[in-house]
Every structure is written in C-alpha cells, then in structure tokens.
C-alpha cells in the first residue's frame, strides 16, 4: 500500500525482478489515484486499485473493500510503503502480525501521528542527534508503535539539511527494506 511516489515499492519490485527477493508482489492499493506508485505497479504488471474517502466515503466500507481486495488477491503479508492513512479495524485484525511498515527514524524516536517525510528529518536535525536511521516494524492500531522487526543507523552529518539527510536516509531505506524482506523470506526473521 502506497500513497505517493512508491520508491520503496520500486526497490521491492526490482529485488523481485532480479531474483534477490523470493516473493511476489500481487496487488497495490493506493489512496491516491494519481500516485506514481500506481504507475510503477502497472509497469510491473501488478493490479493497482485506488480506494479512498473519495471512492468509499464511509470508513467502515473502505476498510472492508481493502480487506476484500487483499483476500481476493490471496495476500499473505501487507507492506505499507509510504501509505499515509490509518488502516481500519477489519484489515488490522485480519492481518495482525503480518502488516509491515517502514519509518525513516530509529523508533520510538520521531514517530507518531504527523511524523513522516520531512517532518521526521526536521525533528532529527532540531534534536541535534548524531545518528538517525530506518525502522521496519509491525503495524498495530496506533502510529509507529508496533513491534520493531529491524533497524539500521544512518549518520547525521555536520552540514546536513533536511534535503541532504532525507536523501541519505531514503537511499538506505531502499537497501535495508530489501535486506530485511530477504531475511523474512529466508525465515531468518520470523513474523506473523
């Protein structure tokens, strides 16, 4: 599931295509009908669906539509790669312990509602920390509070700006996400 660019999704698709990751991305759900992620999915040959408050104004119906689509495509694990909406209770319950999210900091630092993208990197720089990183975690009913699967660090450099730090963390996100998914696929990390 992705809301915007889908660059982390693309890292997964590339790893599948070149044989590094033994998995099959089966479907994309986006809350943004014009997201680049939708284009990336279609280029890969993966079905892509737009479900949002525009298509389903009632949250309960939206939740059930997402869940029905996941079940119809026989999804085992759900990856949130820049998905900017909270999942509904039916989807959270059906996929408990099998929903994975990536976050651009060392959780629990700089997580929670409203902490995404630039906001995270601004907070890291304001805090004066010398390192940040990437966290891959399970999703529960709250923002960024699920069990941590894996983390890696990224240095904060003296002359960093939000843009330079964001670019360095994003590059590491792409690599680390694939590394972690390979470990899950090879059962070196057990979830679910």
Which H helix or E strand runs over 126?
Answer: helix 117-127
Domains in the chain: ranges and CATH: 1-81 (3.40.50.170), 97-187 (3.40.50.170)
| Segment 24-68, tens digit of pLDDT | 999 999 999 999 999 999 999 999 999 999 999 999 999 999 999
According to the model, what pLDDT value does residue 150 have? 97
Is 101 marked as binding a ligand?
A: yes
- The pLDDT confidence band at residue 83, using thresholds 50, 70 and 90, is very high
Determine the Cα angle at 87 with ends 151 and 140, to 5°. Answer: 45
Does residue 96 have a pLDDT over 90?
Answer: yes
Q: Assess contact for 73 and 47: CB atoms under 8 A.
A: yes
Q: Which of 50, 56, 73, 103 is catalytic?
A: 103
Query: Cα separation of 86 and 17, whole Å?
Result: 30
Query: Cα separation of 141 and 72, whole Å?
Result: 23
Is 6 marked as binding a ligand?
A: yes
According to the model, what pLDDT value does residue 182 have? 97
- The pLDDT confidence band at residue 184, using thresholds 50, 70 and 90, is very high
Helix (H, G, I), strand (E, B) or coil at 57: coil
Is 8 marked as binding a ligand?
A: yes
Residue 52, CA distances (Å) to 78, 141, 166 in order: 17, 18, 27
Of all residues in the chain, the percent with pLDDT exceeding 70 is 100
Query: Cα separation of 27 and 25, whole Å?
Result: 6
Q: Assess contact for 101 and 110: CB atoms under 8 A.
A: no
Active site (annotated) includes residue 103? yes
Tokens of 119: 């906001």
């Amino acid at each position: 599931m992705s809301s915007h660019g889908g660059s982390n999704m693309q890292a997964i698709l590339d790893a599948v295509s070149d044989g590094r990751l033994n998995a099959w991305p089966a479907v994309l759900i986006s809350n943004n009908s014009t997201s680049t992620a939708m284009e990336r999915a279609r280029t890969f040959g993966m079905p892509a669906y737009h479900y949002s408050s525009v298509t389903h104004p009632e949250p309960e119906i939206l939740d059930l539509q997402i869940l029905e689509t996941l079940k119809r495509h026989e999804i085992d694990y759900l990856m949130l790669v820049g998905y900017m909406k909270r999942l509904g209770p039916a989807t959270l319950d059906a996929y408990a312990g099998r929903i994975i999210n990536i976050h651009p900091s060392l959780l629990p630092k700089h997580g929670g509602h409203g902490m995404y993208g630039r906001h995270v990197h601004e907070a890291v720089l304001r805090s004066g920390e010398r390192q940040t990183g990437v966290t891959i975690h399970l999703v529960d009913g709250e923002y960024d509070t699920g069990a941590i699967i894996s983390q890696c660090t990224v240095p904060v450099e003296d002359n960093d700006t939000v843009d330079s730090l964001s670019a360095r963390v994003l590059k590491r996100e792409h690599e680390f996400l694939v590394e972690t998914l390979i470990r899950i696929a090879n059962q070196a990390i057990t979830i679910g």
